[in-house]
Structures are given as structure tokens and as C-alpha cells.
Amino acid sequence: MTKILFPRLALASAVSLLMATPALAETLRLGTVVSAPHPWIDAAEAFKTEVEEATDNRITVQIFPGGQLGNDQTMVDEIRIGTTDMIIGGVMNVSPYVPDFEIFSLNYLFEDMDEFRVATAPDSAVFSYFDDAMKDAGVGLKLLSLTGGGTRNLSSNTGPVTEPSDLDGVKMRVTGSRLDAEMWQTVGALTTSLPWTEIYTGLQTGVVGAFESTISGYFSSRLYEVAPYHAKTEHQIMMSHISISENRFNRFSEDDQAIILEAARHAGEYGTEKGVEYDAEFIQQFEDLGVTVTEVDKQAFIDQMVPLHDEFAEERGLTDLLDTIRNL
């Protein structure tokens, strides 16, 4: 009898122990190329707090700022192969896989922040379009949220910029977007693509003499040390994304997926508002940091760049999307 009952008792004990043991926490690795203070960091922290509280720490979030997991392209590649889980960054880092994201390289696309907020809302036609586009691309990422990052201005170490002709012949860093390059070539800049993490040394060594970025990015990465001229071109409101590995997301229960989605959407809204807050706060500190801030002839930039909008949209079959954005 003992030989028969012992295995049964052992099995029952093991089952009881298993049922009494809490599920092991799962950790999401979230990377971004920027350092605090920056709205992407604030969005990441908000996402982390909400997910961990909603799951009683069954799901934890580990944030890797400052390019610790590599530049944007490296992180996208690592998410695709499963070594990293999430990213918060500019949409241009996924444009090689989802080319339609390049539409956000169009300078002076949004009239104001209210229009931008409508476009990035989770129930907007714009979000729905890019959610589907990322799925259809088969890139292995799922779009959780569109978010901001603040206003993008132009900075340089070649002298003050007040009008388009000041950029004629200037070597300028751009993202990997072809359209981004064309926008600035229109005003005479000589463009070259560099990862965000290489801009500082690129300016130090003369590889580039100008770049454009959010006010927060310029401040938090201390780029004013090597580019002390900051022009208020206000040519873009930064379009950013919070995305997760599709395979990783699909392994969660439906309840946990809903928690992750809701937290990401709240984080996206929060990141947009922090971008507005930082823009106003940081630019007031530039003079004390030795930065020369210049107003620009914005209409002159608009007159040279906006005519590219329709041309690009027609070329890429994105006229309907452009019209949707214009009619927001």
C-alpha cells in the first residue's frame, strides 16, 4: 500500500505547493536613447508605475535610458529578435520598416499642439492607420501609443541661423529618413545621417555643424556644449511612439494586454504634455548656459518646405492620409 500511496501523496503535495506559490514576475526591458530630463523618460516612468501597480508587480518594467541598449536602430533590431521588449523613440527609427511614418518628417505639418493631440489620440484615424501599417509591415513590433516629445528646433556651431540662406553649404545631421534629408536640402544644407548617440562627437569633430532636435533633447544631452546657437524654427512637433515586441505582447493574457495598452496610452498623453512643459522651462535656461537663441523668419522656411508636402504624399500614395491630418 505504501508503494502505491506515496506517489499519490507526493503528487498532491507538489500540486498544493505549486498552487500556493505566486506567479513569477515578468520583466519588460524598455529602452530609449535619451537621458533625463526628457518627456520620453517621464512617459517610461509613468508606464512602469501604472503597469506594476495594476499587476501587483507580476509585471515589472526595467528602463534603460541614454542609449544603454544601443541606438534606435539597434534597439528596433533587438526587439525584432527578442532580446529587448520595448522602445520609446522617434517614429523615424521604424520608418525603414514602416515607410509611411516618414510623413512625420514633413516640416510644418501640424498647425499647433491641439491638432497634434487629436492626431495622437488612441481613437484617432491617424493612430488606427499606423497601428494597421505596423501590423501589415510584419516588422515584429506592435504600436501601443503615439506620443510627443516637444518642439523641434535647429541648432548649430557655425553661427546664428535666422533665415534659410544661413544653412547654405552647412553640413547638417538628419535622421535616416530620406524625406528628412530632402526637407533640409531644399534650404541648401548638406545632409548626412547620424544616430542620435553620435551627434555630440560629430559636432566636436566637424562631421556635422548643425542638427535639429527637440528642445528637451538638446538640453538633456548637453548638446549646447558643442552647438551654442539655437534657432527657433519650430518646424516640427516631435512624433514619437511606444512600441513592444509583438511576440512578447501576444504571450500575455488578454487582461494583462489590456493593462499594458491602457498604461501605454496614458504614458503617451503624459509624454506629450511633459514635452510642452519642458519646452517652456528649458529654453528659459539657455542664455545662462551660453546659448545664443535666435528668432527666425519662419515664413521663409515654410514657403520653401511646405510645397514638398503634396509632392511627397502623391509619390508615396499618402494623399488621403495627408488630407486626414490637414482636416484634424
Please compute the mean of the pLDDT values over residues 69-84 and round it to a whole number: 90
Q: Which CATH class is domain 24-150+238-280?
A: alpha beta
Residue 11: its pLDDT value, please?
A: 47
With a cut of 70, say whether residue 18 has pLDDT above it: no
With a cut of 60, say whether residue 5 has pLDDT above it: no
Please compute the mean of the pLDDT values over residues 75-84 and round it to a whole number: 91
With a cut of 80, say whether residue 21 has pLDDT above it: no
Residue 103: its pLDDT value, please?
A: 94
Domain ranges of the chain: 24-150+238-280, 151-237+291-326
* Residues 235, 154 contacting (CB under 8 angstroms): yes
Q: What are 152-191's pLDDT values in tens digits?
A: 999 999 999 999 999 999 999 998 888 889 999 999 999 9
Please compute the mean of the pLDDT values over residues 247-265 and round it to a whole number: 97
Q: What are 274-309's pLDDT values in tens digits?
A: 999 999 999 999 999 999 999 999 999 999 999 999
Q: Could you tell me how many residues make up the chain?
A: 328
Q: How many CB atoms lie within 10 A of CB 327?
A: 8
Strands 190-193 and 171-174: parallel
Residue 14: its pLDDT value, please?
A: 46
Residue 179: its pLDDT value, please?
A: 86
Q: Which CATH number fits domain 151-237+291-326: 3.50.50.60, 3.40.190.170, 3.30.460.80, 1.10.10.10?
A: 3.40.190.170
Q: What are 112-136's pLDDT values in tens digits?
A: 999 999 999 999 999 999 999 999 9
In order of 13, 104, 241, the CA distances from 323 in angstroms are 65, 13, 22
With a cut of 70, say whether residue 219 has pLDDT above it: yes
Predicted model pTM: 0.86
With a cut of 80, say whether residue 57 has pLDDT above it: yes
* Residues 71, 195 contacting (CB under 8 angstroms): yes
**Residue 17 main-chain phi, psi, to 5 deg:** -65, -40
CA distance 100 to 96: 9
**Cell numbers describing residue 134:** 505596423
CA distance 152 to 215: 6
The strands making up 292-294's β-sheet, listed across from edge to edge, are 190-193, 171-174, 210-214, 151-156, 229-237, 292-294
pLDDT-derived band at 261 (thresholds 50, 70, 90) equals very high
Please compute the mean of the pLDDT values over residues 94-108 and round it to a whole number: 92
With a cut of 80, say whether residue 24 has pLDDT above it: no
Annotate the chain with three-state secondary structure.
CHHHHHHHHHHHHHHHHHHHCCCCCEEEEEECCCCCCCHHHHHHHHHHHHHHHHCCCCEEEEEECCCCCCCHHHHHHHHHHCCCCEEEEEHHHHCCCCHHHHHHHCCCCCCCHHHHHHHHCCCCHHHHHHHHHHHHHCCCEEEEEEECCCEEEEEECCCCCCCHHHHCCCEEEECCCHHHHHHHHCCCCEEEECCHHHHHHHHHHCCCCEEEEEHHHHHHCCHHHCCCEEEEEEEEECCEEEEEEHHHHHCCCHHHHHHHHHHHHHHHHHHHHHHHHHHHHHHCCCHHHCCEEECCCHHHHHHHHCCHHHHHHHHHCCHHHHHHHHCC
Residue 304: its pLDDT value, please?
A: 94
Query: Which of residues 29 and 176 earns the better pLDDT score?
Result: 29
Residue 23: its pLDDT value, please?
A: 53
Q: Do domains 24-150+238-280 and 151-237+291-326 have the same CATH topology?
A: yes
